[in-house]
Amino acid sequence: MDFRATLLEQTRAFGDLIRSADPATPVPTCGDWTLKQLFRHVGRGNRWAAQIISEHRSQPLDPRDVRDGRPPEDPDAAIDWLIGGAQLVINGVDRVGSERVWTFVGPRPAGWWLRRRVHETAVHRVDAALALGQDLELPVELAGDSLSEWIEIATIDRRHAPALDHGRSLHLHATEEQLGPTGEWTITHDDDGLGWSHSHAKGDVALRGPVNALLLATLRRKTAEQAGLEVFGDTAVWDSWLDRTPF
């Protein structure tokens, strides 16, 4: 996947979705946020990541210290500000290359932020669509990689307790054949710790359905039932995963 092109595509689509909407519209999947707050969060988030990269930071950046962190009041200028932030991320990675910089899961090559911002933007685009009563499905490959990226973060983020108890496992199975082996995710907590793979395996609980539905349920945007997923096995393991995963 071309994360540079995809970041710009998703950012433009996010902006187009919000451009003509009432900024005071509540976004139920993001707590008590409005579309205006969601827009600012995505736009400032890209500039936050870009500044971390451009400053070669090894320590976190306070979001309040992000340069040009507030969008202009003029709607057209605000869209330009939004897209410009995404371009700053791309420009920063192109300049820094493979140099490692700060991330919330430890030092990573600067390009890590490209993938992170792609999926942050794509998922919040879905949030905006849900707030506006619209059905929005991400491209299958994008939704699949978004789910993989989220699981990767959830399994390596040491700021939180393991999302599964020792000895427990969870399996997700997307029904789209085009994903091939990348359409399955097995998460286990064994003696080596919490980890995951694209392997086909039996879990204590398994969920099966379209990849967009799996993504929405895993990110707690919809329940498994609301997303139309098939659920097999010990649902308490699934509930535990949802309760313990960050964000």
**Cα–Cα–Cα angle for 48, 129, 50, rounded to 5 degrees:** 10
Q: What is the identity of the amino acid at 221?
A: R
Domain of 95, CATH number, reads 1.20.120.450
Does 153 reside within a domain? no
Low-confidence ranges of the chain (pLDDT < 50): none
Q: What is the distance between the alpha carbons of residues 136 and 209, in angstroms, rounded to a whole number?
A: 16
Domain count, the chain: 2
pLDDT for res 74: 94
Which residues constitute the domain of residue 187? 162-244
- What is residue 25's predicted lDDT score, i.e. its pLDDT? 98
Same domain, 13 and 104: yes
Instruction: Let me know if residue 145 belongs to a domain.
Output: no
- DSSP at 180: G
The alpha carbons of the chain give a radius of gyration, in whole angstroms, of 18
Sign of CA dihedral 122, 125, 127, 130: negative
- Count of H-run helices and E-run strands, the chain: 7, 7
Q: How does DSSP classify residue 74?
A: S
Whether residue 9 is found in the same domain as residue 103: yes
d(CA 55, CA 78): 24
Q: Do both 176 and 119 map to the same domain? A: no
User: Sheet harboring 169-174: ordered strands across?
Assistant: 193-197, 184-190, 169-174, 205-209, 230-233
Length, in residues, of the chain: 247
In a domain, 173, yes or no: yes
- Domain of 171: which CATH number? 3.30.1050.10
Specify the DSSP class assigned to residue 66.
-
Give the predicted TM-score (pTM) of the model: 0.95
Residue 142 lies in a domain: no
Predicted pLDDT at 160: 73
Question: How many CA atoms lie within 13 Å of 191's alpha carbon, on the beta-carbon side?
Answer: 0
The phi and psi torsions of 175 (rounded to 5 degrees) equal -90, -5
Count Cα atoms within 13 angstroms, Cβ side, for 200. Answer: 5
